[in-house]
């Protein structure tokens, strides 16, 4: 039914966008995102993709133009990285508060200064309080699948929120893997016509984003929080539907890998989850009962799943590829808060912040760190609560 | 009052444009401008408004005092949001709706200039109206790049603004867009006909609307129109249209090509508290810049 192609992660996203055919695409180039917009430009100019491409003068304008297009009833898409995402940040909030669905790909790259084009999750995590649904892929196939699903999730009337889909720059962005491209007609049929809470198209006069009294503004914030809750079920449903139609299902907000019978859970997000799974395979061979819970959606945060998988575990080790300076890794912070909602007897916990600014973390590193954690707990010791694991 | 009465009234009830319950200061030029826009374009208008006085003047949500669709956008984003709306409407086959970016001098000449330039260069289909009250009035009268030389503001509180007024219409002419015009809230018929012209052209249209602010300029609210008219009569503000490499002087400004017909600049300056401390030297410089502007206009005629 689908066609298999060798694609980089960036091009996998471009192909997903082609299948969805948003009416409007606006983007500004930035390394390592650029090849997404280049590919889309090529598709639009060759007539392969019937979308309007707005070639804007900045990221702030890229998202603003997409916001305008989405308000006016169009499916809209943009992509960015790092500084570009930071430059957009004001509009990031604006789109979610207006409850306007659209999709943005984030090809992660660390934040300046100093100049550095390698990836970590600091740009993505910087958006966590903006009211967007936040998904992160593990490989190029998932990058394509998530991008398609993002339109379906965001436009669900129970959600009506914008969605961002992250991949690590270069690691996925510029690495080629075989990717199955689903049937175009089937994708469009599944997505159906664009849905949004209201449309700005010159029909009866409406006001969007005007001056509002505190109580009404609070209602808008609260509405986003409620929709985030509702989105959890929608995400699971969309994942199942997608699996039925296109043959790939990932497990909703998280993906559990050998975690059903695990005594220890390792948590991670993004491409290196694959390396972590490899490490876990090795550890399993050595008799360590370890599993991986991979975060697929960081917002809404999958605290129920994490409780389900790690509630009865002896220990949970969390790998964060970003840092909330002065605090801990953001995934860890959320995970501990989530567990505390279910129990007053927490398992042994450890947070490893590592791989910052693109520092290469291998499955051997994961193996070493997880093994040390498991052995410490097994011996009745207290594992390190927080560690910044540096390679030098 | 010396203005001849137009033969034809504007064929529209301006009361339809602006609903009761706005939050404008008395004498505010913004509702005056909107009434004319509404008269020329009708109700099928999507206003895209960045942070500025207008975002307050429309009143509080969920209602608003403009009888049209209003989209409030981030400060630097008016022209880019309008680009997105315009492209989406086109893609959806909606052709009878006008997208109007309506922004103050801060959102246009300063924080929004790159966005404005980008949308103009792409020739996105919209009418961009910069209503120029010559300072950041919404935050309480701070200088903008469009504040004239010598004017008091809260950020030029002692000596007045040291720099010249940025001429955004000239910047827009350099973009080779299909239509650039200057207008004044004192001449609604002229503004109306410019909007009519803009409406008939596809692509990016820019109108620079002079809009005196009684609060910021320090004059009595009943003189807003008089002040706007004096700016034209002294030759300080020139009404023209630019199309295809040529400037056409608009009716109200035609007599003032001849410097002897112009009223003395002092007449305009003296009525405004913001120029209270202006020196003779700066006055001379303003006079000189008026001459230079006319010279520049003549070259394009």
Partner B contacted by A92 (CB < 8 A): no
In a 13 Å sphere around the CA of B177, the CA atoms on its Cβ side amount to: 31
Measured from the Cβ of residue B117, the count of other Cβ atoms closer than 10 Å reads 16
Partners of residue A65 in chain B, C-beta under 8 Å: 80-81, 83-84, 87
Q: How confident is the model at residue A1 (pLDDT cuts 50, 70, 90)?
A: low
> Cβ contact (<8 Å) for B80 and A60?
yes
Tell me whether strands A3-8 and A176-181 are parallel, antiparallel or unpaired: antiparallel
pLDDT of residue A380: 97
Mean pLDDT computed over B267-290: 97
Identify the residue among A61, A68, A198, A206 best suited for mutation to test binding to B, counting B beta carbons within 10 A and taking the highest. A68
**Cβ <8 Å between B115 and A60:** yes
- Among residues A216, A246, A276, which one ends one of the domains? A246
Query: Are A295 and A241 in the same domain?
Result: no
Cα A52 to Cα A44: distance, rounded to the nearest angstrom: 8
Q: What per-residue confidence (pLDDT) applies to B2? A: 47
- CATH code (residue A311): 3.40.50.920
Q: A with B: how many residue pairs have Cβ under 8 Å apart?
A: 171
Same domain, A36 and A67: yes
Residues A202 and A314 placed together within one structural domain of the fold: no
Both A144 and A27 in one domain: the answer is yes
Q: Which residues in chain B have their CB less than 8 angstroms from residue A209's CB? A: 71-73
Q: Give pLDDT tens digits for A83-122.
A: 999 999 999 999 999 999 999 999 999 999 999 999 999 9
Q: What is the DSSP letter of A358?
A: G
pLDDT of residue B21: 78
A interface mutation test: which of B17, B87, B111, B124 has the most A CBs within 10 A?
B87
Cross-chain residue pair B77–A213, CB shorter than 8 Å:
no
User: Measured between alpha carbons, how far is B65 from A220 in angstroms, rounded to an integer?
Assistant: 22
State the pLDDT at residue B9: 59
**Interface touch B44/A202, C-beta < 8 Å:** yes
Rounded alpha-carbon distances, angstroms, from residue A36 to A40, A153, B153: 6, 22, 47
Number of domains comprising chain A? 2
Predicted local confidence at residue B37, as pLDDT: 94
Tell me if A124 sits within 8 A of A164, measured CB to CB. yes
* pLDDT of B46 over the 90 cut: yes
Nearest residue of chain B to residue A209 (CA atoms) = B72
Which among A62, A169, A162 has a CA at the least distance from the CA of A111?
Answer: A169
- pLDDT tens digits, A266-313: 999 999 999 999 999 999 999 999 999 999 999 999 999 999 999 889
Residue in A closest to B41 by C-alpha = A202
Nearest CA in chain B to A206: B69
How far, in Å, CA of A207 to CA of B75, rounded?
17
Q: Inspect the interface and report whether the beta carbons of A65 and B46 lie closer than 8 Å.
A: no
Question: Residues A333, A301: one domain?
Answer: yes
Asked if A218 and A143 touch (Cβ cutoff 8 Å), the reply is no
- pLDDT tens per residue across span A228-275: 999 999 999 999 999 999 999 999 999 999 999 999 999 999 999 999
Nearest to A52 among B67, B74, B87 (CB): B87
Measure the N-to-C terminal CA separation of chain A; round to a whole number of Å: 48
Do residues A34 and A77 both lie within one domain? yes
Say yes or no: A214 contacts chain B, CB-CB below 8 A. no
Domain boundary among A197, A214, A246: A246
pLDDT digit string, tens, across residues A64-86: 999 999 999 999 999 999 999 99
- Would you say A21 and A34 are in contact if contact means Cβ atoms under 8 Å apart? no
Q: Which of B71, B88, B98 sits opposite A24 (nearest CB)?
A: B88
Element spanning A368, H or E = helix A363-378
Minimal CA separation from B155 to chain A, in Å: 26
Q: What angle do CA B67, B137, B143 make, to 5 degrees?
A: 145
Q: State the residue range of the domain holding A335.
A: 254-388
Closest chain B residue to A71 measured between Cα atoms?
B85
Residues A70 and A94 in one domain: yes
Please give the full DSSP string across A162-214, using - where no structure is assigned. -EEEEEETTTTTT-EEEEEEPPHHHHHHHH-S---S---SSSS--EES----H
Instruction: Summarize the confidence of residues B193-206 as an average pLDDT.
Output: 97
Q: Is A178 on the interface with B (CB under 8 A)?
A: no
Q: How close, in Å, is residue A37 to chain B by CA atoms?
A: 17
Q: CA nearest B294: which of B243, B253, B245?
A: B253
Chain A nearest C-alpha distance from B104 (Å):
16
Inter-chain touch B69–A64, beta carbons under 8 Å = no
DSSP for chain B, written as a single string: --SPPPSSPPSS-GGGTB-S---PPTT-HHHHHHHHHHHHH-S-EEEEE-SSHHHHHT-STT--SBSSEEEE--GGGHHHHHHHHHHHHHHTT--S-EEEEEE-HIIIIITTHHHHHHHHHHT-SEEEEEEE-SSBTTTTSB--TTSPTT--BTTBTTT---SPPP-HHHHHHTTT-SEEEEEETT-HHHHHHHHHHHHHS-SEEEEEEE---HHHHT--GGGHHHHHHHHHHTTSS--EEEETTEEEE-GGGGGGGSGGGSPPHHHHHTT-GGGTT--HHHHHHHHHHHHHHHHHHHHH-
- Report the residue from A54, A202, A213 with minimal CB separation from B84: A54
Contact assessment for residue A256 and residue A266, using Cβ atoms and an 8 Å cutoff: no
Q: Which of B172, B241, B238 is nearest to B204 (CA)?
A: B172
Biggest distance spanned by C-alpha atoms of chain A:
70
The ipTM of this complex is 0.96
Q: Each residue of B228-247: b (16+ CB within 10 Å) or e?
A: bbbbbbbbbbbbbbbeeeeb
Residues A66 and A162 in one domain: yes
| Chain A residues within 8 A of B44 when measuring between CB atoms | 202
Does residue B271 have a pLDDT over 90? yes
Query: Each residue of B127-160: pLDDT tens digit?
Result: 999 999 999 999 999 999 999 999 999 999 999 9
Residue A294 and residue A233 share a domain: no
Q: Of A246, A276, A300, which residue is a domain's last?
A: A246
Contacts of B240 (CB under 8 A, 6+ apart): B181, B182, B247, B248, B249, B250, B253, B297
pLDDT tens digit sequence for B56-89: 999 988 888 888 999 999 999 999 999 999 999 9
DSSP calls for A105-144? EEEE-PPPSSP-----SHHHHTTTTSS-EEEE-SSHHHHH
Q: Does A58 touch chain B (CB under 8 A)?
A: yes
Q: B6 falls in which pLDDT band (50, 70, 90)? A: low
CB contact under 8 A, A205 and B43: yes
- The span from the CA of B273 to the CA of A45, in Å, is 57
**First vs last Cα of chain B: how many Å apart?**
29
CATH code at position A240: 3.40.50.970
User: Is there a single domain that holds both residue A105 and residue A175?
Assistant: yes
Do residues A263 and A220 share a domain? Answer: no
Distance from CA of B228 to the nearest CA of A (A): 29
CATH assignment, B12-300: 3.40.50.970
Comparing alpha-carbon positions, the chain B residue that sits nearest to A89 is B74
Domain match, A49 and A198 both: yes
Chain B residues lying within 8 Å of A212, measured CB to CB: 60-61
**Residues of A whose CB is below 8 A from B77:** 60-61, 64, 67, 91, 94
């Amino acid at each position: 039914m689908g066609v298999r192609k060798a694609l980089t992660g960036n091009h996998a996203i471009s192909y997903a966008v082609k299948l969805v055919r948003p009416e409007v695409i606006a983007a500004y180039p930035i390394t390592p995102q650029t090849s997404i917009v280049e590919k889309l430009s090529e598709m639009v100019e060759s007539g392969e993709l019937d979308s309007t491409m707005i070639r804007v003068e900045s990221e702030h304008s890229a998202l603003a133009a997409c916001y305008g297009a989405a308000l006016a009833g169009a499916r809209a898409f943009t992509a960015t990285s790092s500084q570009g995402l930071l430059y957009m940040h004001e509009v990031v909030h604006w789109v979610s508060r207006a409850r306007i669905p659209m999709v943005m790909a984030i090809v992660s790259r660390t934040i300046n200064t100093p100049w550095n084009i390698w990836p970590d999750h600091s740009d993505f995590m910087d958006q966590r309080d903006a009211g967007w649904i936040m998904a992160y892929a593990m490989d190029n196939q998932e990058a394509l699948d998530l991008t398609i699903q993002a339109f379906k999730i965001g436009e669900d009337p129970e959600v009506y929120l914008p969605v961002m889909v992250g991949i690590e720059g270069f690691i996925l962005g510029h690495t080629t893997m075989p990717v199955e491209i689903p049937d175009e007609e089937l994708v469009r049929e599944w997505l159906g016509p664009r849905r949004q809470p209201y449309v700005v198209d010159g029909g009866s006069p409406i006001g969007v984003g005007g001056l509002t009294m505190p109580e009404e503004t609070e209602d808008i914030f609260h509405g986003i929080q409620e929709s985030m809750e509702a989105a959890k079920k929608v995400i699971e449903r969309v994942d199942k539907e997608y699996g039925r139609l296109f043959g790939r299902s990932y497990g909703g907000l998280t993906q559990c890998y050998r975690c059903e019978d695990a005594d220890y859970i390792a948590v991670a997000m993004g491409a290196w989850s694959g390396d972590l799974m490899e490490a876990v395979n090795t550890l399993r061979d050595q008799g360590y009962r370890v599993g991986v819970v991979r975060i697929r959606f960081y917002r809404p945060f999958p605290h129920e799943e994490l409780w389900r998988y790690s509630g009865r575990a002896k220990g949970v080790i969390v790998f964060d590829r970003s840092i909330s300076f002065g605090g801990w890794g953001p995934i860890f912070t959320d995970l501990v808060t989530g567990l505390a909602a279910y129990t007053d007897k927490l398992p042994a916990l450890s947070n490893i912040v590592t791989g910052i600014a693109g520092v290469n973390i291998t499955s051997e590193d994961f193996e070493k760190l997880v093994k040390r954690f498991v052995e410490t707990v097994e011996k009745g010791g207290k594992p390190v609560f927080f560690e910044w694991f540096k390679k030098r | 009052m010396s203005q001849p009465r137009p033969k034809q009234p504007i064929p529209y009830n301006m009361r339809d444009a602006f609903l009761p319950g706005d939050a404008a200061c008395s004498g505010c030029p913004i509702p005056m401008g909107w009434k004319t826009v509404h008269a020329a374009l009708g109700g099928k208008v999507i206003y895209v408004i960045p942070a500025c006085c207008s975002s307050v003047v429309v009143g509080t949500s969920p209602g608003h005092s403009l009888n049209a669709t209003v989209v409030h956008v981030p400060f630097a984003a008016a022209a880019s949001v309008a680009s997105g709306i315009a492209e989406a409407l086109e893609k959806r086959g909606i052709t009878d709706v006008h997208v109007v970016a309506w922004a103050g001098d801060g959102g246009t000449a300063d924080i929004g200039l790159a966005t404005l330039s980008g949308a103009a260069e792409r020739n996105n289909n919209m009418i961009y109206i910069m209503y120029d009250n010559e300072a950041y009035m919404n935050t309480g009268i701070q200088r903008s790049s469009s504040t004239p030389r010598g004017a008091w503001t809260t950020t030029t509180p002692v000596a007045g603004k040291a720099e010249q007024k940025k001429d955004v219409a000239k910047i827009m002419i350099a973009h080779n867009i299909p239509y650039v015009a200057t207008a004044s809230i004192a001449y609604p018929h002229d503004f109306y006909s410019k909007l009519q012209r803009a409406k008939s052209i596809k692509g990016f249209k820019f109108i620079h609307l002079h809009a005196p602010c009684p609060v910021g300029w320090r004059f009595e609210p009943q003189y807003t129109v008089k002040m706007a008219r004096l700016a034209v009569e002294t030759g300080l503000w020139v009404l023209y249209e630019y199309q295809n490499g040529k400037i056409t002087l608009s009716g109200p400004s035609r007599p003032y090509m001849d410097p002897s017909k112009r009223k003395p600049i002092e007449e305009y300056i003296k009525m405004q508290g913001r120029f209270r401390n202006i020196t003779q030297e700066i006055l001379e410089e303003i006079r000189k810049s008026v001459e230079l502007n006319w010279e520049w206009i003549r070259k394009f005629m």
